[in-house]
Chains A and B, each alone.
Chain A
Amino acid sequence: MDCGMICAHAVSKRFGDTLAVDGAELCVAPGEFVALLGPSGCGKTTLLRLLAGLEVPDGGEIRLHDRLVSGRDTWVPPERRGVGIVFQDYALFPHLTVAENIGFGVRRAGRARRIGDVIRLVGLDRLDGRYPHELSGGQQQRAALARALAPEPSIVLLDEPWSNIDPLLRQSMREELADILHRAEVTVLLVTHDREEAFSLTDRIALMLEGRILQVGTAEEIYLHPADRWTAEFAGPGNFLPGRVTGDLVETLLGRFPVANRNGATAVEVLLRPVTPK
């Protein structure tokens, strides 16, 4: 199997009676920014932790950089997967300065230069000697991102990075972080429950519910052509009308329309999105 920078095939993980991840299939191309979007408890953080090597899957295969890192007889530990992670609470070491936090996972040779490069990339130039408690929430987030980028990973995993940020600052911080990641030329997987965040920032979205990935596509594909009724409702407001399919058309109380996804049924429910006319 060869499908990209991040590739999960039939990945499953159970905690007791709960099937947290159920046969997940996901492929992310090099340089792509993809969101794992879904409601709380749908398994998206568990899937991220499986990709990072922080959890061991019960089944399936994970490939990163086209290399098998998790499979039947294969297990590559997190530190050898070439993945940087930004956790929801940032997980900065409180007793280390910004520069020491950033340098923590970096090889000794060239460490000082790399710390300087990353500090400039995230715009923390004059704060390198401060401790985490002396930083604002946004600065802590940039420090966490710098620490994730410092070992030069080609993949960065973000777990709800804006959930602790003031809503008034969130928009500008999203754009700032996305810009830094773009300049770092990494492949990004963002875990979020925020539809607007996923729709506005990412190239593609993998929509999750109850451990399963229901649909992967661009924001437009998921909004206009959702795979099922739940996805349709989650993706935004819509009109759901009864309809009857005849040939290539469906008849509704608002008229007859060409059908984008014929499924063989004649009695159907039709989705019409509210779209601002041009």
Chain B
Amino acid sequence: MIGREFRGHDVLYRLRLADGTILVSQRPSTERVELGARVAIRVHQADVTVFS
């Protein structure tokens, strides 16, 4: 985990995957993940929007 933005009711995390891809992920602010922590990710979205 390479960045965290506290937003009150939740926290927006910036994550870097092993291949260098950067992702953003959101968790409740009642949890706290420290910068540098290794985390697992899971996708919650049912369907996705695509652009060509």
Contacts and interface: CB of A to CB of B under 8 A. Distances in A.
Interface of A: 224-226, 228-229, 232, 237-239, 241, 243, 245, 250, 253-255, 257-265, 267-277
Interface in B29-51: 41-51
Given A241-B21, A274-B25, A274-B26, A268 B45 contact: no
A274 B12 contact: yes
Contact of A270 (B25, B46, B48): B48
A245 B50 contact: yes
A237 B5 CA distance: 12
A243 B50 contact: yes
Contacts of B12: 237, 274
B45 A275 contact: yes
A229 B49 CA distance: 10
Contact of B28 (A225, A237, A265, A276): A276
Given A238-B24, A241-B21, A277 B48 contact: no
Interface of B: 9-10, 12-13, 17, 19, 21, 23-28, 41-52
6 contacts: A257-B48, A258-B46, A259-B48, A260-B50, A263-B52, A268-B50
Given A237-B12, A241-B21, A254-B43, A276 B26 contact: yes
A261 B49 contact: yes
Contacts of A275: 26, 44-45
Contacts of A260: 47-50
A239 B46 CA distance: 15
Contact of B50 (A254, A255, A263): A263
A264 B51 CA distance: 10
A262 B48 CA distance: 10
Contacts of B43: 254-255, 257, 272
